[in-house]
């Protein structure tokens, strides 16, 4: 995804112009003096939009360390292409400089043979840490944690802990929380940087640490981790194995990426589209990803069409009934989608489970009843004004059909994702188009069933 700067000042435009001029003139000193003054976010924005031949030129101007800071601000779909166009040894040096979790995220976008090549060229210690994290399943705590953190032993004095912190801090991703382990390297507590600073030098770490530590297991789902860090307002969360050995930490910047990824993923499923945030897909690839759902929905739509055919005699006798088919089907689909969106969000945040399935269904049923009654009354009055009092029976049939359809659609929109969640299926799969088509079918049955029953009043 193309990153756009959030400011367009005249000074910023001048800097960009000077950077482009430096590249044209092949002036390394001028380029570095202008380019490195920018924030890495802005550097990434400029870099990712340059043609490949210019990017290859810039690789000779920047060190692996400087390049790693820029890459941290790229979208993952852009990084794979950029990494593979570099000299492999230069790319391996960049991986050495990246934080472990960022390096793992990028490598997960590459082919196996590419990963093996980069790991072979990397420093042994860095390569080992990345290999260890690559073994964890994607979207788990283990796959997004970093091993670059500061840990102290519970038997250290505050003086010893501060000396250790000064030594390890340059390589740590965050030092605001210092995690404490026992002699067996099991998580024993946590100390904030503030507590360390104000403590007396001769105090022992175990005396001031907090023993009540919230932690995650390496196999926990990243969506659960995101909710945990949101609820506790953590800047970092420790990750442990089944014996409570400290494996790594998850930092808030990684969780922000997770929340963005999960939101995009859920929205894609609700729209029945995969990889909707990718801009590099061709028209053919986009169509290929959308067609399976559309074909399924096409067949479901044929069921609705065949049902309408079953009521051919009803339509022949009262042709005006056909006018209200899109209205009733559309209202039912919209109501079902609303209930679906609210329920899927409740499941994602954990609110739906804490509230209770029956309570949520009861609330959605009541909501459907209220909206159904109001909409039914409104459409009945509109038809009476439009067609005259002589068509009061038509208004009542349409109004009653809308009322029942909205109640059923609301219940279906809330029940389907809850059922899928219970069956361990991603509730976002109950997509908007899917629930809309289902509710179209139900509403048609209700509408024409009601019209057939009261046919003698309509003719």
Six-digit token string for 339? 């209930």
Q: pTM (2 decimals)? A: 0.58
Q: Name every residue whose Cβ is closer than 8 Å to that of residue 155 and which is 6 or more positions away in sequence.
A: 183, 204, 205, 206
List the chain pLDDT tens, one digit each, 459 residues. Answer: 334 444 455 566 777 888 888 888 888 888 898 888 888 888 888 888 888 888 888 999 999 999 999 998 887 777 888 888 899 999 999 999 988 888 888 888 888 898 999 999 999 988 988 888 888 888 888 888 988 888 999 999 999 999 999 998 888 888 888 999 999 999 999 998 899 999 999 999 999 999 989 999 999 988 888 888 888 888 889 999 989 999 999 988 888 877 776 666 655 555 555 555 555 556 776 666 666 666 766 776 677 677 777 776 776 676 777 788 888 888 888 888 888 878 877 776 677 666 777 888 888 889 989 998 999 899 889 888 887 776 788 888 888 988 998 999 888 888 888 887 787 776 665 556 677 778 888 888 888 888 888 777 776
Alpha-carbon span 252 to 230, nearest angstrom: 9
| 250 sits in which H/E element | strand 246-251
Strand order in the sheet with 236-240: 216-217, 236-240, 246-251
* Helices (H), ranges, 122-273: 124-134, 141-144, 158-168, 193-198, 205-208, 222-232, 252-270
According to the model, what pLDDT value does residue 436 have?
A: 75
Interstrand relation of 187-192 and 177-181 (parallel, antiparallel or unpaired): antiparallel
According to the model, what pLDDT value does residue 2 have?
A: 39
- Please name every residue paired with 152 in a beta bridge, in sequence order, or none if there are none: 180
Burial of 358 (0-12, 13-18, 19+ CB in 10 A): exposed
Six-digit token string for 301? 């739509």
User: Nearest 5°: phi and psi at 181?
Assistant: -120, 160
Six-digit token string for 22? 């430096």
According to the model, what pLDDT value does residue 272 have?
A: 52
Question: How many residues are listed for the chain in this entry?
Answer: 459
According to the model, what pLDDT value does residue 4 have?
A: 45
Burial of 122 (0-12, 13-18, 19+ CB in 10 A): buried
Contact 398, 457 (CB under 8 A): no
- Chain centre to alpha carbon of residue 409: 27
Alpha-carbon span 136 to 239, nearest angstrom: 12
According to the model, what pLDDT value does residue 10 have?
A: 56
Domains and CATH numbers, the chain: 10-135 (1.25.60.10), 151-251 (3.10.580.10), 283-458 (1.10.357.20)
């Amino acid at each position: 995804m193309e990153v756009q700067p959030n400011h367009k000042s005249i000074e910023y435009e001048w800097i960009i112009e000077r950077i482009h001029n430096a590249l044209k003139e092949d002036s390394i000193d001028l380029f570095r003096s202008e380019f490195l003054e920018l924030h890495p976010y802005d550097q990434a924005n400029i870099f990712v939009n340059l043609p490949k031949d210019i990017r290859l030129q810039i690789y000779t101007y920047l060190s692996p360390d400087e390049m790693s800071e820029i890459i941290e601000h790229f979208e993952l779909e852009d990084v794979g292409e950029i990494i593979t166009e570099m000299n492999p040894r230069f790319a391996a040096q960049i991986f050495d400089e990246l934080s472990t979790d960022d390096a793992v995220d990028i490598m997960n976008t590459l082919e196996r043979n590419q990963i093996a090549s980069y790991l072979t060229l990397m420093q042994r210690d860095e390569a080992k840490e990345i290999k260890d994290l690559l073994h964890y399943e994607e979207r788990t705590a283990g796959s997004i944690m970093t091993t670059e953190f500061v840990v102290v032993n519970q038997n250290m004095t505050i003086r010893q802990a501060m000396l250790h912190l000064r030594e390890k801090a340059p390589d740590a991703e965050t030092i605001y929380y210092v995690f404490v382990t026992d002699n067996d390297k099991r998580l024993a507590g946590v100390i904030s940087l503030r507590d360390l600073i104000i403590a007396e030098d001769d105090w022992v770490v175990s005396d001031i640490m907090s023993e009540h530590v919230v932690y995650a297991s390496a196999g926990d789902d990243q969506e659960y981790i995101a909710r945990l860090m949101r609820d506790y307002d953590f800047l970092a969360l420790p990750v442990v194995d089944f014996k409570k050995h400290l494996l790594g930490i998850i930092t808030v910047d990684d969780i922000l990426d997770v929340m963005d990824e999960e939101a995009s993923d859920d929205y894609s499923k609700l729209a029945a589209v995969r990889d909707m945030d990718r801009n590099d897909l061709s028209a053919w690839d986009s169509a290929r990803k959308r067609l399976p759902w559309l074909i399924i929905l096409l067949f479901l739509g044929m069921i609705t069409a065949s049902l309408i055919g079953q009521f051919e005699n009803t339509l022949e006798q009262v042709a005006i009934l056909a006018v209200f088919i899109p209205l009733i089907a559309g209202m039912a689909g919209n109501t079902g989608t609303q209930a679906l969106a609210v329920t899927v969000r409740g499941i994602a945040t954990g609110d739906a489970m804490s509230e209770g399935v029956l309570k949520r269904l009861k609330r959605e049923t009541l909501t459907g009843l209220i909206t159904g009654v109001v909409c039914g009354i409104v459409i009945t009055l509109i038809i009476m004004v439009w067609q005259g009092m002589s068509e009061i029976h038509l208004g009542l049939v349409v109004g009653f059909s809308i009322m029942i359809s909205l109640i059923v659609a609301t219940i279906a929109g809330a029940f389907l994702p809850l059922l899928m969640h219970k069956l361990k299926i991603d509730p976002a799969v109950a997509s908007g188009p899917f629930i809309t088509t289902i509710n179209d079918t139900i509403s048609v049955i209700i509408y024409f069933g009601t019209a057939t029953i009261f046919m003698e009043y309509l003719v």
